[in-house]
Amino acid sequence: MDASNYVIVSPHQHYALVVASEDMLSFPYHLRYELIEFAVYILTTRGLGLTPLHGACVGRAGRGVLLLGGSGAGKSTLALHSFLQGLDFVAEDAVLVQSDNLLATGVANYLHVTEDALHFIEDKEAECWIREAPTIRRRSGVQKFEADLRYGPGKSADAPLQLVATVFLSRQVADDPGALLRPIPKYDIAAKLSADQPYAASLPGWSCFQQQLVKMGAYELRRGNHPIAAVEALRQLLR
Protein backbone atom coordinates (compact mmCIF):
# COMPACT_ATOMS: atom_id res chain seq x y z
CA MET A 1 0.00 0.00 0.00
CA ASP A 2 2.88 2.34 0.84
CA ALA A 3 6.33 2.26 2.44
CA SER A 4 4.89 1.64 5.92
CA ASN A 5 2.06 -0.79 5.08
CA TYR A 6 2.86 -3.83 3.01
CA VAL A 7 2.92 -7.62 2.79
CA ILE A 8 5.76 -9.92 1.80
CA VAL A 9 4.60 -13.41 0.84
CA SER A 10 6.70 -16.51 0.20
CA PRO A 11 4.25 -19.25 -0.82
CA HIS A 12 6.81 -22.04 -1.16
CA GLN A 13 7.88 -21.39 2.45
CA HIS A 14 4.27 -21.00 3.64
CA TYR A 15 5.33 -17.68 5.13
CA ALA A 16 4.06 -14.11 5.07
CA LEU A 17 5.16 -10.92 6.79
CA VAL A 18 2.53 -8.22 7.35
CA VAL A 19 3.81 -4.76 8.20
CA ALA A 20 1.35 -2.08 9.35
CA SER A 21 1.94 1.39 10.69
CA GLU A 22 0.41 2.61 13.93
CA ASP A 23 -1.80 4.96 11.92
CA MET A 24 -3.26 1.98 10.01
CA LEU A 25 -4.60 0.54 13.28
CA SER A 26 -7.30 3.21 13.10
CA PHE A 27 -8.59 1.52 9.90
CA PRO A 28 -9.13 -2.09 10.99
CA TYR A 29 -11.26 -3.03 7.99
CA HIS A 30 -8.62 -1.95 5.47
CA LEU A 31 -5.82 -3.48 7.54
CA ARG A 32 -7.58 -6.83 7.60
CA TYR A 33 -8.99 -6.76 4.07
CA GLU A 34 -6.05 -5.23 2.18
CA LEU A 35 -3.14 -6.77 4.10
CA ILE A 36 -3.93 -9.67 6.44
CA GLU A 37 -6.59 -11.41 4.32
CA PHE A 38 -4.52 -10.80 1.20
CA ALA A 39 -1.65 -12.74 2.81
CA VAL A 40 -3.97 -15.52 3.98
CA TYR A 41 -5.55 -16.08 0.57
CA ILE A 42 -2.23 -15.99 -1.29
CA LEU A 43 -0.80 -18.58 1.09
CA THR A 44 -3.82 -20.88 0.90
CA THR A 45 -4.07 -20.75 -2.88
CA ARG A 46 -0.40 -20.80 -3.87
CA GLY A 47 1.04 -22.51 -0.80
CA LEU A 48 -1.65 -25.14 -0.15
CA GLY A 49 -3.03 -25.38 -3.67
CA LEU A 50 -6.63 -24.54 -2.76
CA THR A 51 -8.94 -23.10 -5.41
CA PRO A 52 -10.25 -19.64 -4.41
CA LEU A 53 -13.85 -18.88 -5.31
CA HIS A 54 -15.84 -15.69 -4.92
CA GLY A 55 -18.94 -17.11 -3.30
CA ALA A 56 -20.53 -18.43 -0.14
CA CYS A 57 -20.84 -21.87 1.40
CA VAL A 58 -23.22 -23.33 3.99
CA GLY A 59 -24.14 -26.87 4.94
CA ARG A 60 -25.01 -29.43 7.57
CA ALA A 61 -23.74 -32.80 8.82
CA GLY A 62 -20.47 -32.45 6.91
CA ARG A 63 -22.13 -31.69 3.56
CA GLY A 64 -21.97 -28.30 1.88
CA VAL A 65 -23.50 -26.25 -0.92
CA LEU A 66 -21.45 -23.73 -2.90
CA LEU A 67 -23.39 -20.50 -3.55
CA LEU A 68 -22.36 -18.45 -6.57
CA GLY A 69 -23.72 -15.43 -8.39
CA GLY A 70 -22.85 -11.89 -9.35
CA SER A 71 -22.90 -8.87 -7.08
CA GLY A 72 -26.42 -8.28 -5.83
CA ALA A 73 -27.58 -11.85 -6.51
CA GLY A 74 -28.24 -12.38 -2.80
CA LYS A 75 -25.36 -14.58 -1.62
CA SER A 76 -24.86 -12.67 1.63
CA THR A 77 -28.60 -12.54 2.37
CA LEU A 78 -28.99 -16.28 1.81
CA ALA A 79 -25.87 -17.01 3.86
CA LEU A 80 -27.28 -14.84 6.66
CA HIS A 81 -30.62 -16.64 6.78
CA SER A 82 -28.94 -20.03 6.47
CA PHE A 83 -26.84 -19.08 9.51
CA LEU A 84 -29.94 -17.94 11.43
CA GLN A 85 -31.83 -21.12 10.47
CA GLY A 86 -29.15 -23.39 11.91
CA LEU A 87 -27.08 -24.40 8.89
CA ASP A 88 -23.31 -24.58 9.35
CA PHE A 89 -21.61 -21.46 8.04
CA VAL A 90 -18.33 -21.66 6.09
CA ALA A 91 -18.01 -18.28 4.34
CA GLU A 92 -20.08 -15.64 2.58
CA ASP A 93 -17.50 -13.95 0.38
CA ALA A 94 -14.51 -16.21 -0.32
CA VAL A 95 -14.56 -20.02 -0.37
CA LEU A 96 -11.42 -22.15 -0.63
CA VAL A 97 -11.82 -25.63 -2.10
CA GLN A 98 -9.45 -28.59 -2.22
CA SER A 99 -9.40 -29.53 -5.86
CA ASP A 100 -8.93 -33.28 -5.39
CA ASN A 101 -11.77 -33.99 -2.95
CA LEU A 102 -14.01 -30.86 -3.11
CA LEU A 103 -13.71 -30.11 0.59
CA ALA A 104 -14.68 -26.48 1.13
CA THR A 105 -13.36 -24.17 3.81
CA GLY A 106 -13.03 -20.45 4.33
CA VAL A 107 -12.37 -17.67 6.81
CA ALA A 108 -15.65 -17.55 8.73
CA ASN A 109 -15.23 -14.23 10.50
CA TYR A 110 -17.89 -11.72 9.45
CA LEU A 111 -21.21 -11.49 7.68
CA HIS A 112 -21.63 -8.48 5.39
CA VAL A 113 -25.28 -7.59 4.83
CA THR A 114 -27.13 -4.57 3.54
CA GLU A 115 -29.93 -2.75 5.30
CA ASP A 116 -32.47 -4.34 2.92
CA ALA A 117 -31.57 -7.84 4.13
CA LEU A 118 -32.79 -7.01 7.65
CA HIS A 119 -36.43 -6.61 6.59
CA PHE A 120 -36.92 -10.38 6.60
CA ILE A 121 -35.38 -11.05 10.03
CA GLU A 122 -38.07 -11.90 12.58
CA ASP A 123 -35.71 -12.59 15.50
CA LYS A 124 -35.24 -9.21 17.23
CA GLU A 125 -32.03 -10.29 18.98
CA ALA A 126 -30.53 -11.33 15.66
CA GLU A 127 -31.58 -8.01 14.11
CA CYS A 128 -29.99 -6.07 16.99
CA TRP A 129 -26.78 -8.11 16.62
CA ILE A 130 -26.47 -6.89 13.04
CA ARG A 131 -27.70 -3.32 13.53
CA GLU A 132 -25.18 -2.77 16.34
CA ALA A 133 -22.33 -3.94 14.10
CA PRO A 134 -20.03 -1.41 12.44
CA THR A 135 -20.59 -0.57 8.78
CA ILE A 136 -18.09 -0.79 5.95
CA ARG A 137 -18.16 0.52 2.40
CA ARG A 138 -17.15 -1.82 -0.41
CA ARG A 139 -15.09 -0.60 -3.35
CA SER A 140 -18.31 -0.65 -5.36
CA GLY A 141 -19.69 1.99 -2.99
CA VAL A 142 -22.23 -0.36 -1.36
CA GLN A 143 -22.48 0.07 2.41
CA LYS A 144 -22.92 -3.05 4.54
CA PHE A 145 -23.10 -4.07 8.18
CA GLU A 146 -20.09 -6.12 9.23
CA ALA A 147 -21.48 -8.53 11.84
CA ASP A 148 -18.98 -10.52 13.90
CA LEU A 149 -19.98 -14.20 13.70
CA ARG A 150 -18.54 -14.93 17.15
CA TYR A 151 -21.44 -13.06 18.70
CA GLY A 152 -24.21 -14.26 16.39
CA PRO A 153 -26.95 -16.80 17.14
CA GLY A 154 -25.76 -19.44 14.64
CA LYS A 155 -22.61 -21.51 14.34
CA SER A 156 -19.68 -21.81 12.00
CA ALA A 157 -18.67 -25.16 10.54
CA ASP A 158 -16.03 -26.77 12.71
CA ALA A 159 -14.43 -28.63 9.78
CA PRO A 160 -14.34 -28.37 5.97
CA LEU A 161 -17.58 -29.43 4.26
CA GLN A 162 -17.87 -31.93 1.42
CA LEU A 163 -19.49 -30.11 -1.49
CA VAL A 164 -22.55 -31.88 -2.88
CA ALA A 165 -23.87 -29.19 -5.25
CA THR A 166 -23.19 -25.79 -6.78
CA VAL A 167 -26.05 -23.30 -6.71
CA PHE A 168 -26.15 -20.18 -8.89
CA LEU A 169 -28.37 -17.52 -7.35
CA SER A 170 -30.71 -15.70 -9.70
CA ARG A 171 -32.44 -12.35 -9.24
CA GLN A 172 -35.45 -13.74 -11.10
CA VAL A 173 -38.55 -14.53 -9.05
CA ALA A 174 -39.72 -18.13 -9.33
CA ASP A 175 -42.99 -18.77 -11.16
CA ASP A 176 -43.82 -21.43 -8.58
CA PRO A 177 -42.92 -20.39 -4.98
CA GLY A 178 -42.68 -24.08 -4.09
CA ALA A 179 -40.10 -24.89 -6.78
CA LEU A 180 -37.17 -22.50 -6.49
CA LEU A 181 -34.46 -24.91 -7.66
CA ARG A 182 -33.89 -25.73 -11.32
CA PRO A 183 -31.19 -28.20 -12.44
CA ILE A 184 -28.71 -26.70 -14.88
CA PRO A 185 -27.88 -28.93 -17.89
CA LYS A 186 -24.38 -30.34 -17.56
CA TYR A 187 -23.35 -28.89 -20.93
CA ASP A 188 -24.02 -25.37 -19.57
CA ILE A 189 -22.26 -25.67 -16.21
CA ALA A 190 -18.63 -25.24 -17.34
CA ALA A 191 -19.33 -21.99 -19.18
CA LYS A 192 -21.31 -20.59 -16.23
CA LEU A 193 -18.50 -21.46 -13.81
CA SER A 194 -15.81 -19.81 -15.93
CA ALA A 195 -17.90 -16.68 -16.44
CA ASP A 196 -18.71 -16.44 -12.73
CA GLN A 197 -15.14 -17.10 -11.52
CA PRO A 198 -12.73 -15.32 -13.90
CA TYR A 199 -9.85 -15.22 -11.40
CA ALA A 200 -10.04 -18.90 -10.45
CA ALA A 201 -10.49 -19.83 -14.10
CA SER A 202 -7.11 -18.23 -14.86
CA LEU A 203 -5.24 -20.44 -12.38
CA PRO A 204 -3.45 -23.72 -13.16
CA GLY A 205 -5.62 -26.75 -12.50
CA TRP A 206 -8.92 -24.97 -13.18
CA SER A 207 -9.92 -27.34 -15.96
CA CYS A 208 -9.72 -30.46 -13.76
CA PHE A 209 -11.43 -28.68 -10.87
CA GLN A 210 -14.18 -27.42 -13.15
CA GLN A 211 -14.79 -30.94 -14.46
CA GLN A 212 -15.38 -32.16 -10.91
CA LEU A 213 -17.95 -29.44 -10.27
CA VAL A 214 -19.69 -30.28 -13.54
CA LYS A 215 -19.83 -33.95 -12.57
CA MET A 216 -21.23 -33.02 -9.16
CA GLY A 217 -24.07 -31.03 -10.70
CA ALA A 218 -25.36 -27.47 -10.43
CA TYR A 219 -28.67 -25.68 -9.93
CA GLU A 220 -30.21 -22.27 -10.43
CA LEU A 221 -31.99 -20.91 -7.36
CA ARG A 222 -34.69 -18.35 -8.11
CA ARG A 223 -36.17 -16.05 -5.52
CA GLY A 224 -39.18 -16.98 -3.44
CA ASN A 225 -41.50 -15.02 -1.18
CA HIS A 226 -39.02 -15.09 1.73
CA PRO A 227 -35.31 -15.97 2.10
CA ILE A 228 -36.29 -18.84 4.40
CA ALA A 229 -37.87 -20.55 1.38
CA ALA A 230 -34.45 -20.47 -0.28
CA VAL A 231 -32.87 -21.96 2.86
CA GLU A 232 -35.38 -24.81 2.74
CA ALA A 233 -34.47 -25.40 -0.90
CA LEU A 234 -30.82 -25.76 0.14
CA ARG A 235 -31.84 -28.26 2.82
CA GLN A 236 -33.26 -30.44 0.06
CA LEU A 237 -29.79 -30.66 -1.50
CA LEU A 238 -28.15 -31.41 1.84
CA ARG A 239 -30.26 -34.45 2.73
**Going by C-beta distance under 8 Å and a sequence separation of 6 or more, which residues neighbour residue 144?**
76, 112, 113, 114, 135, 136, 137, 138
Please give the chain's pLDDT, 239 residues, in tens: 899 999 999 999 999 999 999 999 998 888 988 899 899 989 998 888 899 999 999 999 999 999 999 877 888 889 999 999 999 999 988 999 998 899 999 988 888 888 888 888 988 999 999 999 999 887 777 889 999 998 989 889 999 999 999 999 998 888 888 889 999 999 999 999 999 999 999 988 899 999 999 999 999 999 988 899 999 999 999 99
- In three-state secondary structure terms, 87 is coil
Q: Check: CATH 2.170.120.12 for 51-109+149-237?
A: no
Distance CA 64, CA 74 (A): 18
**Closest to 97 measured CA to CA, from 124, 68, 71:** 68
The confidence score (pLDDT) of residue 69 equals: 92
DSSP for 119-142, written as a single string: GG---HHHHHHHHTS-EEE-TTS-
Pinpoint the residues of the chain covered by CATH 3.90.228.20: 51-109+149-237
Taking only the tens place, the pLDDT of each residue in 75-102 is 888 999 999 999 999 998 899 999 889 9
Q: In a 3-state reduction of DSSP, which class is residue 62?
A: coil
Closest CA to 89 of 171, 29, 169, 150: 150
Report strand pairing: 94-97 vs 103-106: antiparallel
DSSP assignment of 100-113: TT-EEEE---EEEE
Nearest Cα neighbor of 131 from 123, 139, 168 is 123
